[in-house]
Amino acid sequence: MNKQITLAARPVGNPLPSDFSLEETPIPVPQEGEVLVKTLYLSLDPAMRGWMNDSRSYIKPVQIGEVFRAGTAGVVVESQSPDFKVGDYVTGGWGVQQYGVCLPNTLVKVDTKLAPLPVYLGVLGMPGMTAYFGILDTGQPKAGETVVVSGAAGAVGGVVGQIAKLMGCRVVGLAGGKDKCDYCVNEMGFDACIDYKTEDVKQALREACPKGIDVYFDNVGGEILDIVLGQIRFKARIVICGAISQYNNTEGVKGPTNYLSLLVNRARMEGIVVFDNAANYGKAAKEMAGWMMEGKLKSKIHIEKGIENFHASLMKLFKGENFGKLVLQVGEE
């Protein structure tokens, strides 16, 4: 049988276990041209919270009763396509289920000798692409500038910070907890990392960024965005990648009250969505794989297990309990 997680109800505030339903259906049979893939890992992403809402966004909402959308990695177990053979490792987006029938053009073959499979949901997947294009194309960091990134120990933030270091910037992270901050500084080479749970962020940021902030890559929104806006420099760039602090906010999103700092500093705030760069994923993945080989780009994966634990595992993102790219292992080879 094929276990699936479907959306049972649209959450208000924090998603509840009852907003999802575990279904069992027969393992589907691939038709001519199709491929049956066994899911090994699912990507758990903050963006999933947005897909639960019935509102206009950059992608269609998941419908009630539909298998929940997810980035996926797995192994081909049956193929009716000449492009794939049994045993091929692939990534795609066949959702939160143990097996998926896919069209070849929705799958990407990956090389697990180059990097472990979950890395293709992290640095070499959507989070890595988000970081790469967001910081380089929109953040436009220049050597000597100060770059601040929130969610610094997360899947996107860690890559953003390491790429900014490669560009010659001073990099300051914001993360929750001493372990994460130590990891950013000691393993990923950040110049500093502020523990937003225990430190006075305003003061700590001022000390870590004595010249002010040139680029801010924002994954969290809320109070921290406002504090950063108060410390930006002339012609600063603020990349809006996400706002995880606001996604479950039932009182409406907190807008940045310091937004007029954009005027004072002739600064720019710009939103990004990774899909716009699809044509250039290959080039970016190649460059990042190169950095990984050279030891210049590190990647941490946080693995949870069992499709039954989808909801509980996802909630770790919103509680800040993940450490590195969060994936759910739902199958064994």
The residues binding a second copy (CB under 8 A) are 56-58, 221, 226, 240-243, 246, 252-273, 276
Tell me the two tokens of residue 108: 């990407």
Please give the Cα distance from 128 to 239 (Å, whole number). 15
Question: Which residue pairs, CB below 8 angstroms and at least 24 apart, start in 130-133?
Answer: 130/156, 130/241, 130/272, 130/274, 131/156, 131/157, 131/158, 131/159, 131/160, 131/163, 131/217, 132/159, 132/163, 132/284, 132/287, 132/288, 133/272, 133/274, 133/276, 133/277, 133/280, 133/284
**How big is the chain, counted in residues?**
333
Strands (E), 34-177: 35-43, 72-79, 89-92, 99-102, 108-109, 146-150, 170-175
**Under 8 Å between Cβ of 18 and 8:** yes
Of 264 and 293, CB closest to a second copy: 264
Of 109 and 266, CB closest to a second copy: 266
Please, what is the minimum distance in Å from the beta carbon of residue 58 to a second copy? Answer: 5
> Residue with structure tokens 């590195």?
324
Please, what is the minimum distance in Å from the beta carbon of residue 238 to a second copy? Answer: 9
Please, what is the minimum distance in Å from the beta carbon of residue 259 to a second copy? Answer: 5
Backbone phi and psi for residue 67, each to the nearest 5 degrees, phi listed first: -60, 135
Of 198 and 280, CB closest to a second copy: 280
Please, what is the minimum distance in Å from the beta carbon of residue 31 to a second copy? Answer: 35
Residues ≥6 apart with Cβ < 8 Å to 48: 68, 69, 70, 314
Of 73 and 225, CB closest to a second copy: 225
Please, what is the minimum distance in Å from the beta carbon of residue 217 to a second copy? Answer: 13
Angle at the Cα of 85 (from 45 to 122), degrees rounded to 5?
A: 20
Please, what is the minimum distance in Å from the beta carbon of residue 209 to a second copy? Answer: 15
Of 156 and 330, CB closest to a second copy: 156
Q: How far apart are the first and last CA of the chain?
A: 16
Of 47 and 153, CB closest to a second copy: 47
Please, what is the minimum distance in Å from the beta carbon of residue 237 to a second copy? Answer: 10
Please give the Cα distance from 331 to 129 (Å, whole number). 25
Tell me the two tokens of residue 258: 């310091």
Of 210 and 252, CB closest to a second copy: 252
Please, what is the minimum distance in Å from the beta carbon of residue 280 to a second copy? Answer: 15
Of 29 and 264, CB closest to a second copy: 264
Please give the Cα distance from 250 to 246 (Å, whole number). 9
